[in-house]
Amino acid sequence: MSTRGRIKDFWREQRIFEQRALAASIIVSALAVVLFGRLIWLQVVKYDEYTDLAQGNRVRIEPQPAPRGIIYDRNGEILAENKPAYQLELVPEEVPNLDATLKGLVDIGLIDEEDRDDVRRTIRSRRPFDSVPIRLFLNDDDMARFAVNRHDFPGVDIRTRLARSYPHGETAVHALGYVGSISASDLARIDREQYAGSSTIGKVGVEAAFEDVLRGRNGRREIMVNARGRSVDKAGGLEAIRDTIPGEPGSDLMLTLDLEVQRVAEDLVSNQRAAIVALDPNNGDVLALVSRPGFDPNMFARGLTRTEFRALNENPDRPLFNRALRGTYPPGSTIKPVVALAGLTYGVTEPLAPHYCVGFYSLPGSSHRFRDWKPKGHGAIDLRSAIAQSCDTYFYEMSSRLGVRRLHDFLAEFGLGEPTGIDIGGEKAGILPSPEWKQQAFRKRSDQVWFPGETVIFSIGQGYMTSTPIQLAHMTAILATRGQNFQPRLVRALRDPETQKVTELAPKALPRPNAGKLEDWDRVVDGMLAVMQGGTASRAAAGAPYTIAGKTGTAQVFTVAQNKRYNEAAISERLRDHAWFVAFAPAEAPKIAIAVIVENGRSGSGTAAPIARTIMDAYLLRKFPTVRRENATAPAPNSDVSEE
Amino acid sequence: MLREDVDSTTQRTLTRTAQLLGSLRLDGPLLAGLAAIAVYGQFVLYSTSGGDWESVLRGSVRLALGAALMLALGQVRPGFLRRLTPWLYVTGLVLLIVVDAIGYIGKGAQRWLDLGFIRFQPSELMKLAVPMTCAWILRERPLPPDPRTLGLLAGVILVPTALTIVQPDLGTGLLILMGGLIVVLLAGLQIRYIVTLALGGVAAAVIGWSFLHDYQRQRVLTFLDPQTDPLGSGYHIIQSIIAIGSGGIFGKGYLQGSQGQLEFLPERTTDFVFAVVGEELGLVGALVLIGLYVFVVLRAIFLASQMRDTFARLLSGSLAATFFVYVFINAGMVSGLLPVVGVPLPLVSYGGTSMVTLLAGFGMLMSLYANRKLAA
């Protein structure tokens, strides 16, 4: 058959085909060489690179959290430990209907309705085969409720893990702090690598300050995973290697706190807004650190619901606020012994010469009356009695000779106006006013001027000055030891949990105040002894088998206008004065120095001093009040003694 | 004496085997090559299926069916094949249209017809029918083909190609196109036409590109270089390259490939099986396999060149060369040389009907070779 007259030429066609077949063979061989080249490129030249990538695919590193260090009090009582806790966990891929499951859990009361969206978001952010904790710290009742309904919740189960536990609940919470879930702001400052596998972090207090020591080092385990990230033991001829790099448990901490004393102190102010700091003046050990009201740190460790957090955060008594370290109050008369020491050091007062108190003091050339707390005046009074009776005019007059400069610098040597440097964070500095401070603190020029009258009230701890309870405890400790100055501390030793080797931390000595001769110190201490013997707080010292040196104080919340009398009954409870008391004992060989403040407690002698006395009995005599927590009430405010 | 005995025994065995193969109209070397590939494939399948004997068994059954079909077709007389050709083509075309229509009406991709006992892919039939028809058209015309014939051939090739690509099945469409195109090339298509075709293709691509929207261009670029999209279409190819590269020269060992065994490698029993070979058996294992393929292809081309009949040699040459197109597209795709097109690795990839089609093709080739002296 032919088309358009051409004839089929079989020989020519045979030749063409042979040529084309040859060409095809060459092309096939050439393409095979191209493939060969590509394989050499991948398998020989880039072998190392792809081996690394393949290894990275198959190996996942799983962190093994290290147990957190245990915290003990000074006598070996456990304050914070790790306990197995039961929690509800959910494996997303095993849950047929997530929304229905969560709703069901809300219905049986295992998840808070308010937290449901958060829980859902957390679950969604995890890999489908990861077990996600959705409710921590189940109690027996929760577990029973879940057990009955378990068949309704495929993919949800109860698991055990180690969780932080504070066996004494609220006790010492403001010293210990607590651990809580790692927040976004925590993530921004920590090394994430270190926290892989941890879900909690120390938030405040010792738990936060010693986080690095307590945490230890998480271990790691290498596991083989498949493409979906699931751990696989065996696949084809591959076996999991399971390489484990052990972690290091965190160090145990031995605190300076005395749990029993701490408890006594807390019980004494259980219904108050109050703070107490008790120090060992010989080394700065914090024996008790109380801020009331408190809260249960276990709530944070197990995760607060929104409602719980709101309740804590919006409580007008501010339980989360650490009054001992962060509460700044006018120190009032508690600084008078130090001011007296300043007067003696600079020779601006003659300790035995009588000062005549008429109930008020006026600066030369001024008619303004700076009133004494005792309207009728104390009459003729020397330094010892001025401290004992807390005579204001004595100090008013002395301050004008001392001058604000020297007054400021002298008080600064007792640590006022600066954080004490206690080994946990969050401490406030308070205010130690001076002309320079005023220039910085006020914007308006006219406000920046330091007036002589401001020096006058500064001398009795009023005006701009504010201090924290720990600052006053520290100041009192320096007075107690006649100048020995130790930085307050809560942690006295670390212990390696494996070797049980204890590393004692040396107390940190701070410079002695550059103040007077020993006899000047003794004069001031003598005045503080007189406070307890016939002075403002004598009732609180009654029957004590050891000597107490103390000083009462009152911090005004409400300013009384000139020529008006302070009418207690007329002002509401929240506007009443704060009651201060500082003291140390035994006076001749001090073992404990205390500062107590009871907000709106009105009277240092009536409210604060008996609290200090009970704590001293507990620490020095191991004598504990018979009535505990069950019916703990503070001594009734005593209104017939009132100072200033 | 003893040595001579052994030699003569060996010789006798070989002679007898050759006689047996001759009587079955089979080519010994080609059959050996195919058998070696098939055994290699079953060996790899055991690993890719995670040590599942059942998969190997099913694969072997499929292989046996293909082999039976090959043997049967080997016995058919070339004249029968030639007469069957137009009917096969028309039937295939009609079924292809039916499948596309069902897919269009059902608003879903459709490649097969469910015949109750088997799912039949008309496009698979066209892989054979298109080169057969091209060879059939050219068998009595003077070669190289004139433009009118070329026009006819273009229609014969492009219509089923287009119908397959819209299914959508780009891989099979490409193989149908290549099957037909290779017949035309072997028939002596002049160099000037080849150059024109190539230039035309480039020009069409350039013009087409200028008409595309940005997102469409992006899609084309991602198709050409999937590694620009490492989490989407690039994920498979990146894992596949990691598998091959980490295999090194001698491989990680049989059953020891982490990429394959831990399922990082997608489609490891089917389209990406070559990556498992590269990972577990290394460069050496991959070269052995490619070497076997090249041997089979070259042997088949040689057999085709021995044939005296136009229909026979054009069809045989095309079947041989198309076989290599499979290998090159698949290995090129898996090793990241070519874009991802769904083409299986012949006789090694698990499942699909392509194994049956391929072996049927080789059956026809052997029949044509056995009858090479005759005009088909």
What is the residue range of A466's domain?
259-631
Buried b (16+ CB within 10 A) or exposed e, B111-147: bbbeeeeeeebbbbbbbbbbbbbbbbbbbebbbbbee
Contact between A43 and B244 using a beta-carbon 8 Å cutoff: yes
Q: Is the C-alpha dihedral spanning B210, B216, B222, B223 positive or negative?
A: negative
**pLDDT band (50, 70, 90) for residue A66:** confident
pLDDT, tens digit, for every residue of A151-171? 888 888 888 778 889 999 999
Task: Tell me the C-alpha distance between A27 and A44, whole Å.
Answer: 25
User: CB contacts < 8 Å between A and B, how many?
Assistant: 180
Q: In whole angstroms, how large is the CA radius of gyration of chain B?
A: 22
Q: Which residues have a Cβ under 8 Å from the Cβ of A488 and sit 6 or more positions away?
A: A277, A279, A284, A285, A286, A420, A421, A422, A423, A470, A473, A474
Q: Which of B88-97, B112-121, B144-153 is predicted with the least confidence, judged by mean pLDDT?
A: B112-121
Query: What confidence tier does B134 reach under pLDDT thresholds 50, 70, 90?
Result: very high
Task: Please tell me the least confidently modeled range out of A288-297, A362-371, A475-484, B317-326.
Answer: A362-371
Lowest mean pLDDT among A412-426, A532-546, A630-644, B36-50: A630-644
Q: Which residue has the higher pLDDT, A488 or A302?
A: A488
Q: What are A191-201's pLDDT values in tens digits?
A: 777 777 677 88
- The answer, yes or no, to whether residue A558 has pLDDT greater than 70, is no
- Give the minimum alpha-carbon distance from A124 to chain B in angstroms, rounded to a whole number: 20
Residue A43: which pLDDT band, with cuts at 50, 70 and 90? very high
C-alpha count within 13 angstroms, C-beta hemisphere, residue B316: 34
Residue of A nearest to B243 (CA): A54
pLDDT band with cut points at 50, 70 and 90 for residue B118: low
Pick the residue of A26, A38, A40, A42 with the most B CBs within 10 A to test the interface with B by mutation. A42
Contact A44 B305 (CB under 8 A): no
Rounded to the nearest angstrom, the minimum Cα separation between B143 and chain A is: 6
The reported pLDDT for the residue numbered A575 is 80
**Contacts of residue A240 in chain B, CB cutoff 8 Å?**
none
Cβ-nearest to B263 among A3, A25, A226? A226
What is the pLDDT at residue A273? 93
| Per-residue confidence band for A567, with pLDDT thresholds at 50, 70 and 90 | low
Q: So what's the pLDDT on residue A630?
A: 43
Contact B261 A238 (CB under 8 A): yes
- In angstroms, the separation between the Cα of residue B188 and the nearest Cα of chain A is 6
Q: Once rounded to an integer, what is the mean pLDDT over residues A578-590?
A: 93
CA distance A241 to chain B (A): 13
For residue A625, give both structure tokens.
């009040």
In a domain, A172, yes or no: no
CB A20 within 8 A of CB B160: no
Number of domains in chain A: 1
Nearest CA distance, B103 vs chain A (angstrom): 33
A633 confidence band (pLDDT: 50, 70, 90): very low
Residue A564 pLDDT class (50, 70, 90 cuts): low
Say if residues B295 and B40 touch (Cβ distance below 8 Å): no
Mean pLDDT, chain A, integer? 87
Confidence of residue A536 (pLDDT cuts 50, 70, 90): confident
ipTM: 0.92
pLDDT at residue A135 in the model:
83
DSSP H helix total and E strand total for chain B: 15, 2
Contacts of A5 in chain B (CB under 8 A): none
Query: Cα–Cα distance between A28 and B325 in angstroms, integer?
Result: 9
Report pLDDT digits (tens) over A596-618.
999 988 888 888 999 999 999 99
Query: Which residues in chain A have their CB less than 8 angstroms from residue B279's CB?
Result: 54
Domain of A338, CATH number, reads 3.40.710.10
For A:539-578, CB contacts with B below 8 A are none
Contact A100, A227 (CB under 8 A): no
Partner-chain residue, chosen from B142, B258, B310, that has the shortest CB–CB distance to A2: B142
* Chain B residues touching A39 at Cβ < 8 A: 244, 278, 283, 286-287, 335
Chain A residues touching B332 at Cβ < 8 A? 35, 38
Burial A392-413 (b: 16+ CB within 10 A, else e): bbbbbbbbbebebebbbebbeb
Could you say which residues from 203 to 232 on chain A have a Cβ atom under 8 Å away from some Cβ of chain B? 224-228, 232
Of the listed ranges A327-331, B34-38, B235-239, the one predicted with least confidence: B235-239
- The predicted pLDDT at position A569 comes to 58
A55 contacts in B (CB within 8 Å)? 246, 258
What pLDDT was estimated at residue A1? Answer: 44
Active site residues of A: 333
- Give me the long-range contacts of A3-9 (CB less than 8 A, separation at least 24): A3/B141, A3/B142, A3/B146, A3/B148, A3/B149, A4/B146, A6/B142, A6/B146, A7/B142, A8/B140, A8/B141, A8/B142, A8/B143, A9/B142
Find chain A residues with C-beta within 8 A of B249's C-beta. 43-44, 47
Using pLDDT thresholds of 50, 70 and 90, give the confidence band for residue A30: very high
pLDDT at position A352 is: 85
Please state whether beta strands A252-255 and A71-72 pair in parallel, antiparallel, or not at all (unpaired). Answer: parallel
**Angstrom distance (rounded) from CA A487 to CA A335:** 19
Q: What percent of chain A has pLDDT over 70?
A: 94
Residue A238 near chain B (CB below 8 Å)? yes
Pick from A20, A28, A57: which is nearest to B324 by CB?
A: A28
Binary contact (B301, A24; C-beta < 8 A): yes
Distance (Å, rounded) from C-alpha A326 to C-alpha A342?
A: 27
Å between B325 CA and nearest CA of chain A: 9
Least confident range from A477-491, A570-584, B83-97: namely A570-584
B45-56 average pLDDT score: 87
| Among A residues 324-383, those touching chain B with beta carbons less than 8 Å apart | none
Interface contact flag, B255 A238, Cβ < 8 Å: yes
Q: Do B324 and A35 touch (CB under 8 A)?
A: no
Contacts of A233 in chain B (CB under 8 A): none
Q: Is the confidence at residue A263, as pLDDT, over 50?
A: yes
Closest of A448, A452, A430, A426 to residue A439, by C-alpha: A448
Nearest CA in chain B to A52: B246
Confidence class for position B219, pLDDT limits 50, 70, 90: confident
- Helix (H) / strand (E) element for A253: namely strand A252-255
pLDDT of A636 over the 60 cut:
no
Is the CB of A42 less than 8 angstroms away from the CB of B278?
yes
